[in-house]
Amino acid sequence: MIGISGTGANAADRRDRRFGYAMATPSLLVLFLIILFPVISALFTSLHDYTLIAPNFDTFTGLTNFKLALGDAEFRHSAWLTLRFVIGVVALEFLIGFAVALMLNKVERFKPIYYAILLCPLLMNPVIVGLIWRMFLHPNLGIVNYLLSTIGIDPVNWLGDTKIAIWTVILVDIWHQVSFMIVLLLAGLSSLPKEPYEAARVDGANAFQCFIHITLPMMRTVIVVTLLIRLIFAVKTYDLIYIMTRGGPGTATDFVSYFIYRTAFVSLNVGEASAMSIILLTAILGLTVYLYRYMRSIN
């Protein structure tokens, strides 16, 4: 905060606060108008026996929907799978993404070309990505297995094997979304000041030491926010699953968002689906608060 010492401090603080609210108000207004009603409606629905076949709020059921959701072994299974998937994609995409972002930050030549290439998957919709990769990964007629066969590898059952399918989905998601991390991390890297590096070089620090002692600490907030946002998106992954596996084979890729989607729009049980969503929200929010505190405690 901008602190101005002396007697004017209180008045200046007040004016600072007022300016802050003035800056936030337009956004908050828009959000109140369009998102508050849906969110409250979801909370309200979760407490009722509300199905689309009989869409009314006549039966208040309290926490029954929550109990039903938590007692549903399939829901718990899908939550567990989602956790594995989210950790997998977020961790791998971060590692690859950070490495690429660091390299991109070093180069000047061809930089726009590298950048344009990595933007391409981001501009493709998950539905298209799913359909195209289904073609590539066709076990008998796909180009991937054909290329593997030329170096003597047996056809891989990419999406039909319960052990492999989740990794296939993770790989496709990485191809599609890793650039999201790169764009944000690169922006973070390029807004870092130059002076600390120059000082460190004078002191004889090598590149690795610079990375550990300067880059990482200064990038901390950007990293946490990037991870957090990517995590929220990863939890919501459903289109890719929908196109590629429909949760199969068996229940090997039945992620929680797809499960909630089916509860709401196939079973038409919006009450229970809302309860599941709120359970999900609570879990992510808890994690966010933890990350947020962690971020604050360091600064």
Partner 1 sequence: MLKQLLLGSVMALGFIGSAAAEPVNILMEGVPDTEYVKALVPEFTKETGIEVNLEVVNYAEMHTKLVPQLVSPKGSYSAIVVDFYWVGEFAKAGWMQPLDDRIKADNFDTSPYIPAMMDLVGKVNGTTYMLPFYNYAMGLTYRTDLLADAKNQADFKTKYGMDLKVPETWDEYQKQVEFFTKDGFYGAVNQGLRPDPIAMEWSNYLFANGGEYHDADWKPTLNTPAGVKALEQYTNSINKYGPVGSASFGFDEAFNVMAQGKAYSYITYNFFRTAYDDPSKSAVVGKVEIMPVPGVSPDKGGSLNGAWGWAIPKSSPNPDDAWTFLKWVESKEITKKRALAGGSPTRTDVFDDADVLAKYPYYPALKKLLLTSHNFAVFTYTPQLVEVLGRELSLAVAGEKTPADALAAVEVEFTELAKKDGKLK
Partner 2 sequence: MKLRWSNIVPHVILSVFSLCILLPLIWVLRVSLTDKLTAYKIPPEIGHLGLENYVEIFSTYPFERWFLNSLVVALAATAISLPLATAMAYAFARFNTGGAFLRLGVLASQMLPPIILVLPLFTLFFSTGLMQTHMGLILSHLTISLPFLSWMLVSFFEGDSASLEEAARIDGATRWQAFIKIAVPVAAPGILAAGLLGFILSWNEFLFALVLSGASSQTLPIGLASMETHAGVEIAPLAAATVVSLLPIFALLPFLRKYLIKGLSLGALK
| Cα torsion 72, 74, 76, 79: sign | negative
Choosing among partner 1, partner 2, none, which partner's interface includes residue 217 (Cβ < 5 to 8 Å by kind)? none
Tell me which of partner 1, partner 2, none is bound by residue 245, counting a contact when its beta carbon lies within the kind-specific cut-off of 5 to 8 angstroms: partner 1
123 contacts partner 2 (rule: CB under 8 A): yes
Question: E strands within 160-235?
Answer: none
Q: Taking the complex as a whole, how short is the minimal distance between the CB of residue 73 and partner 2, in angstroms?
A: 20
- By C-alpha distance, which of 131, 102, 91, 113 is closest to 239? 131
Q: Which does 213 bind (CB under 5 to 8 A by kind): partner 1, partner 2, none?
A: none
Nearest to 46 by CA among 279, 272, 263: 272
Does residue 73 bind partner 1 (CB under 8 A)?
A: no
Q: Which does 54 bind (CB under 5 to 8 A by kind): partner 2, partner 1, none?
A: partner 1
The answer to whether 226 and 181 have CB atoms below 8 angstroms apart is yes
Residues 161 and 248: their CA atoms lie apart, in Å, by 9
Rg of the Cα atoms in the chain: 24
CA pair distance 138, 116, nearest whole angstrom: 28
Smaller CB separation from partner 1, 164 or 227: 164
Measured distance CA(208)–CA(216) in Å, rounded: 11
Task: Please provide the DSSP assignment of 108-126 as one string.
Answer: -TTHHHHHHHHHHHHTS-H
**Is residue 155 close enough to count as binding partner 1 by CB under 8 A?**
yes
The answer for 107, left when phi > 0, alpha when psi is -120 to 50, beta otherwise, is beta
Give the span between the Cα atoms of 83 and 147, in whole angstroms: 32
Contacting residue, 46, 226, 245, 274, with partner 1 by CB under 8 A: 245
For the bound state, the minimum distance from the C-beta of residue 5 to partner 1, rounded and expressed in Å, comes to 36
The contact pattern for partner 2, residues 155-194, with x = CB under 8 A and - = no contact, is --------------------x---xx--xx-xxx-xxxxx
Q: What track of x and - describes contact with partner 2 for positions 4 through 23 (by CB under 8 A)?
A: x----------xxx-xxxxx
Residues 97 and 178: beta-carbon distance below 8 Å: yes
Residue 196 or 249 having the CB closest to partner 1: 249
Q: Is 39 in the site for partner 1 (CB under 8 A)?
A: no
Interface with partner 2 includes 76 (CB under 8 A)? no
Q: 1 contacts which partner out of partner 2, partner 1, none, CB within 5 to 8 A by kind?
A: partner 2
Work out what residue 28 binds among partner 2, partner 1, none; the CB cut-off runs from 5 to 8 Å by kind: partner 2
Q: Which residues bind partner 1 (CB under 8 A)?
A: 52-55, 127, 134, 138-141, 155, 157-162, 165, 242, 245-252, 262, 265-268
